[in-house]
Structure 1
Amino acid sequence: MYRNKTRQVMVGNVPVGGDAPISIQSMTNTRTQDVAATVKQINELAAAGCEIIRCAVPDMEAARAISEIKKQINIPLVADIHFDYRLAIAAIENGADKIRINPGNIGAPERIQAVVEKAIEYHVPIRIGVNSGSLEKHLVQKYGGVTAEGLVESALDKIHIVEQYGLKDIIVSIKSSDVMMCIRAYELMVQKTDYPLHVGITESGPLGGGIIKSSVGLGAILYQGIGNTVRVSLTGERVEEINTAKKILAALGLRKAGIEVISCPTCGRTQIDLITLANQVEKLVAQYDLDLRVAVMGCVVNGPGEAREADLGVAGGCGEGLLFKKGKILRKMPEDQLLAALKDELDHWEEERI
């Protein structure tokens, strides 16, 4: 797949842009001032595959907490700042690896300059965030409403503001809860700048609808080679943001995401509790760092045949089922032994390749 070429910016030890792989981000929903809770959540997200984490910095206590949080985590931390330029400066001084600001709500030019100069001093990049919900009134009037064109013009204005003070380590995000507007905005933006792009569908909603909106939007954007780092914004368990991002990237062939589980939708021939079994298999395979495709099929007649491209799989029957590999049946067994048999194969998978 073609990837739009951008310059590269380092966020801590994670490269964003250039030839670097697309990185996955999330944001904590703990009080940043609560160091123990914030560290716990960050480490859980990192274990799931999060590579960059963002924390809200609403006050000076939160800015100072960054110093202690950084000692206990192993991924770069981004400080999310609104309105108060002093919080941005304090966050940088306390070890933030990147700050996220909207220069438009920071205030007077000298305040923006102070933040930019501190970022340059500490070699900290700035993510310029533009959101459809806060588009400037004059741009809303110019374009007759909130539009992709208005979002892009706003982002370019903000880039110019920080560029004039000498900053070149910039990452840009343009977010909207409107999927089509978001896609169009990134299509336009990639023609206007070579800065790395942070992509996501903001305020996408609870898990069900949010996953669909994010998958459609991010899929359309990333398929065009646009985007260097992603966040799936969901109202729910934060780990689900990471799991969904990994699956989107894997589905597009942009990175591996461990074992992929495929399963049939069930039909009148299904004589096994396939839904329960598929959920059990998905939980099981999350424990393995293997690049495989595992199938869970509901019919012993078609199962091994339809899933012949799977590396490993099970197919259910009436109280029994088959274990198969690369379309070839290994053995038949009672239904309640299928999961254990699959686990045994995975446990010894690497041994068989030696």
Structure 2
Amino acid sequence: MAYSTVIARHKTQEVGLGERVVGGDNPIWVQSMTTTNTFDAEATVEQIKRLEEAGCEIVRVTVPKKEDVEACRFIRSKINIPLVADIHYDYRMALACLDAKTDDGKPAVNKIRINPGNLGGQERFKEVIRKARDKGIPMRIGVNSGSLEKDLIEKYGFPCPEAMVESALRAIETCESLDYRQIIVSLKASHVPTAVETYALYASKCHYPTHVGVTEAGSKEYGTLKSAAGIGAIVLKGIGDTIRVSLLGDPVPEIAAGFDILRACDRRVTRPEVVACPTCGRLDIDLERIVAEVEAKMAHLKNPLRISILGCLVNGFGEAKEADIGIAAGAGKGVIFKRGVPIRHVKEADMVQALLEEVERFEEDTPALKSHQEKEKKKNALPVLN
């Protein structure tokens, strides 16, 4: 494909998280959080299984009481992705999670998430750090604009990016003073411009990996758009090692939304991307039907192909040439391009089948596919941001 823009990725250190490694040149992992009562272990496992089927790569559960800690022992033994315990207010739950084991002696959780603004002070935070260090379990320092430390609110007047970053750096300094560096950082705000500026400011000062999200994003429809604006803007700055799209209701749709954001940002393309022109008065083929059929029949494919289906004679030929496989159509017929080269003419009735045939041939073209995949890999091995 002709696109050559390369976004420098914020180089971060690696942090092991169960079978995943967060940071460095590793993929940007897509995660979610359960909505069940964690102590209802069977229901929680059932929901996590649905998340796994959707492609979820890390999952978080809330742990406000002892029954939830015990449930984590069972949950971890039944799922296939890293389990994160979300801790607020009660530092004892963090300590209990760090001590908990599955029946086969493995850690019941692969990471804890704490909020420095509500854990109960420095001494309690240090106790959690020491335990995490001794157990070899990583921690996410989850700064949230809605629960900053009181002294920072008094200093800055409101939860601005400077206040949020200072909170994170203060917590990191405490961790490092105790020789603990298995740290992932999030700096979430519900206001998109604040979130974007905060992550950019943090990345200019620190190199621990980041979990990126827009908190309290809202309903499925608006929340997806708001998350795309915020997470997308942050990822396009080269920042982010794992993401979560926070939506109201069933968490399963968060996964597809997360992967779509990464795919649209060309940061992690895990399946073909179909590009289609918008409907306008120049359109004279049934483009909506063609696109729907192509997407449905390629849903099983995993290779990062860019496929353009254009029904416009004004821009169609130029845009089709920029894709791996493209078709420029009009007046009931079209031209299929492969890497910018016209290869065949087709009638509208034959477009779907012809396009699928060329996609299949493209995937069988080992040298070309290998070259394309190497380009994708290089995007995760990019220069360090200053």
State if a TM-score over 0.5 links the two structures.
Answer: yes
Post-superposition shift, 1:148? 0.9
- Map of 1:225 onto structure 2: 238
Post-superposition shift, 1:125? 0.6
In the alignment, structure 1 residue 324 sits paired with structure 2 residue 322? no
In the alignment, structure 1 residue 23 sits paired with structure 2 residue 29? yes
**In structure 2, what is the Cα distance between the partners aligned to 1:44 and 1:247?**
18
**In structure 1, what is the Cα distance between the partners aligned to 2:17 and 2:234?**
22
Alignment of 1:1-354 (within 5 A): 1-92=7-98, 93-94=100-101, 95-107=108-120, 109-235=122-248, 237-298=250-311, 303=316, 306-313=319-326, 324-326=336-338, 327-332=342-347, 334=349, 339=352, 342-343=355-356, 346=359, 350-351=363-364
Change over 3 Å in CA distance of 1:332–1:76 after alignment to 2: same
Equivalent pair of 2:329/2:335 in contact (CA under 8 Å): no
For normalisation by structure 2, the TM-score amounts to 0.79
Change over 3 Å in CA distance of 1:328–1:237 after alignment to 2: farther
**In structure 2, what is the Cα distance between the partners aligned to 1:236 and 1:284?**
29
Give the letter aligned to residue 156 of structure 1: L
Equivalent pair of 2:94/2:128 in contact (CA under 8 Å): yes
RMSD: 2.9
Give the letter aligned to residue 48 of structure 1: A
- CA offsets, 1:178-206, max 9 Å, x none? 11111221222123322222121112222
- CA offsets, 1:274-326, max 9 Å, x none? 335434433432211122122333358975664233334566767x6658342
How many residues of Structure 1 are paired with residues of Structure 2 in the alignment?
Answer: 351
- CA offsets, 1:309-353, max 9 Å, x none? 3334566767x665834243353253xx65555556556654465
For normalisation by structure 1, the TM-score amounts to 0.86
Equivalent pair of 1:197/1:227 in contact (CA under 8 Å): yes
Give the letter aligned to residue 137 of structure 2: V
Give the letter aligned to residue 160 of structure 2: T
Higher relative contact order (CA 8 A, sep 6+): 2
- CA offsets, 1:61-109, max 9 Å, x none? 2221222222222211111111122222232214100000113322255
Equivalent pair of 1:323/1:330 in contact (CA under 8 Å): yes
Post-superposition shift, 1:212? 2.8
Mark the runs of 5 or more structure 2 residues left unpaired by the alignment: 1-6, 102-107, 368-386
Mark the runs of 5 or more structure 1 residues left unpaired by the alignment: none
- CA offsets, 1:21-79, max 9 Å, x none? 32222212233233333333323333433222111223222221222222222211111
**In structure 1, what is the Cα distance between the partners aligned to 2:322 and 2:307?**
9
Post-superposition shift, 1:132? 0.7
